[in-house]
Amino acid sequence: MKNIDLQNKTVEEMSMILKDLKAKLLQFNFELGEKRLKDYSQIKKTKKEIARILTFLKSKS
């Protein structure tokens, strides 16, 4: 998700996206532990996306 897309979202929408991304990251970590994860870069991308959303949430409040 681009920064422009995040600027157009409400706080509630960003909170829902954040919740989904955290669940996705948890799933990636379980798959990593079971050695089923094929694309390791997804973990890094998800963490970056979470950080980006948290930054926008802090700047809006």
Residue-range definition of the domain harbouring residue 18: 3-60
DSSP assignment of 13-38: HHHHHHHHHHHHHHHHHHHHHTT--S
pLDDT of residue 10: 87
Number of structural domains (the chain) is: 1
50 conformational bin, left if phi > 0, alpha if psi -120 to 50, beta if neither: alpha
Least confident of 25-29, 31-35, 57-61: 57-61
**Across all residues in the chain, what is the average pLDDT?**
90
CATH of residue 23's domain is 1.10.287
- Residue corresponding to tokens 């706080």: 11
Q: Identify whether the C-beta of residue 17 lies closer than 8 Å to the C-beta of residue 53.
A: yes
pLDDT of residue 1: 64
Tell me which amino acid residue 37 is. L
